[in-house]
Chain A
Amino acid sequence: MGLLDKFEAARRTRDTLTALPLNPTDVVIDEVLSASEAMIHGRRTIMAGTNNYLGLTFDPAAIAAGQLALADSGTGTTGSRMANGTYRDHLALEAELAAFFATPYAMVFSTGYAANLGALAALLAPGDAVLLDSEAHASLFDGCRLSGADIFRFKHNDVDSLANRLRRLGERASSALIVAEGLYSIRGDCAPLAEFARVKREFGACLLVDEAHSLGLYGAHGRGLAEQQGVEADVDFIVGTFSKSLGSIGGFCVSHRAELALFRYTSRPYIFTASPCPSVIATTRVALQQLRTRPELRERVWANAHHLYAALAALGLDLGPDVSPVVGISFQERETAFACWQGLFNAGVYTNLILPPAAPDGGSLIRCSVTAAHSRSQVDAIISAFTDVCRDLRVGRHAA
């Protein structure tokens, strides 16, 4: 087999997608109108498939801070944090993250993907055991794989499955790492972190939680699901991203473990890449401030989430188990999922179509998300589009 022959499968996938009337992986946004609307294919479209949970991408204060940083510090750092890429504002953001999470240590990475890759690759080594939720994000799996550790999967959100695997590891369990997410991004279901924490204590293992999708949404301070479930002290490492609720790009790891400060010397995804550009750091700092000081954003996104979930449940759709700003709708048939997604798109509502292998259960899903930026009338328009499409396609309660 030749070097390039491996691309045959990708070519077939690409050809299948491009043969569709509308390629779900190739939607081009012509113009962003606001945090909740865009022009796509010449049509004003409600964006109901983003991660912009607090709706901060057009926050005036964040934009002003970014513009100022561009003018003052330039477009990029051109270097690693270990060389010329640590500016005073990188350290300020790390200090603010540490204060926000009430942890002594915080570390900023260039992306959320790099944060997961960098934290896991630093934390684990060949011979270590890591227990990974079966639906954990690819970046968590890639981080585990990069480390060379032995990877054991446990059933999604299944406490007994986790405990059984730790038990089978014997003495290794006390030095194992458990890896889970807070809010899962496709079906919008939440991890039983309090129970995971109990198992972690029972076996003496460590726990890392990715709060990428739960930051800003859960907990009295918006710190995430670990805060909401009262187990922050049991979570050894929290990782997350700036590219969702904070509306920019970048990632972080916080911890009460002093070893986090040593990741800087061992984490290759941290060392061998350019540091986040100054404007990104500036907008992230302002967005974090907004998250801390404007609880009404959280109230608004949750009001929208409850409204959407209740309406889609009333349509008889197969939803995830938890109400959250992410609503995953499962379909038995890939063709039905596609037709529904396209119907919504034609009605001016953009959602995410998740096809195998990305869908958690090997099936097909439509991922719909709402934000604090959506008005009630926009959420009603999303619901109205779903109602029409379900009736036309005879799905949900309209099924024969």
Chain B
Amino acid sequence: MSIEPTVEDRLIALLRKTLGTETALSPATNLVGDLGLESIQVIEYLCEVEDHFDLAIDEGTLADVQTISDLAIVIRKLQRS
């Protein structure tokens, strides 16, 4: 029986693919604090996330997003709306 990957799993996979990072990642990983991503890298990653989930993410909704888990909450909210 296959288990559907969670939003967090997919966000982590996208992050590895987009940034080519080998760093250990978890839902608690802080995108800026832990990974030290530059703002342009965060933008590139979010573009990939939007395309993967086929969503439009307004930057204003990301003001409180620090971790992959925070981002997953935003994704699920947009998927429901």
Name A's B-contacting residues (CB within 8 A).
Answer: 129, 134-135, 150-155, 161, 164-165, 168-169, 356-357, 359-362
| Chain A residues near B41 (CB-CB < 8 A) | 362
Question: Do A151 and B47 touch (CB < 8 A)?
Answer: no
Question: Do B38 and A153 touch (CB < 8 A)?
Answer: no
Name B's A-contacting residues (CB within 8 A).
Answer: 37-41, 43-44, 46-47, 50-51, 54-60
Apart from A152-B58, A164-B50, 5 more pairs, CB < 8 Å: A152-B57, A152-B59, A168-B54, A359-B38, A362-B40
Q: Which residue of chain B is the closest to A150 with respect to CB atoms? A: B58
A-B residue pairs, 5 tightest by C-beta: A150-B58, A168-B56, A362-B38, A357-B38, A151-B59
| Chain B residues near A151 (CB-CB < 8 A) | 58-60
Q: Which residue of chain B is the closest to A172 with respect to CB atoms? A: B56
A-B contact number at CB 8 A: 46
Task: From A161, A165, A169, A360, give the contact of B40 (CB < 8 A).
Answer: A360
Question: Do B40 and A359 touch (CB < 8 A)?
Answer: yes
Question: Do A152 and B56 touch (CB < 8 A)?
Answer: yes
A169 to B44, CA, bound (A): 19
Question: Do A164 and B51 touch (CB < 8 A)?
Answer: yes
A150 to B62, CA, bound (A): 11
A300 to B54, CA, bound (A): 47
Q: Which residue of chain B is the closest to A161 with respect to CB atoms? A: B47
B47 to chain A, nearest CB (A): 5
A-B contact pairs, 11 of them (CB 8 A): A135-B40, A150-B58, A152-B56, A152-B58, A153-B47, A153-B59, A155-B44, A165-B56, A168-B50, A360-B40, A362-B37
Q: Which of A134, A153, A155 has the most CB of B within 10 A?
A: A153
Question: Do B51 and A161 touch (CB < 8 A)?
Answer: yes
The answer to whether A361 and B40 touch (CB under 8 A), given A152-B59, A161-B51, A168-B56, is yes
| Chain A residues near B43 (CB-CB < 8 A) | 134, 153
Task: From A150, A356, A361, give the contact of B60 (CB < 8 A).
Answer: A150
A165 to B58, CA, bound (A): 11
Question: Do B58 and A357 touch (CB < 8 A)?
Answer: no
| Chain B residues near A129 (CB-CB < 8 A) | 58
| Chain B residues near A153 (CB-CB < 8 A) | 43, 46-47, 59
A357 to B43, CA, bound (A): 12
| Chain A residues near B38 (CB-CB < 8 A) | 356-357, 359, 362
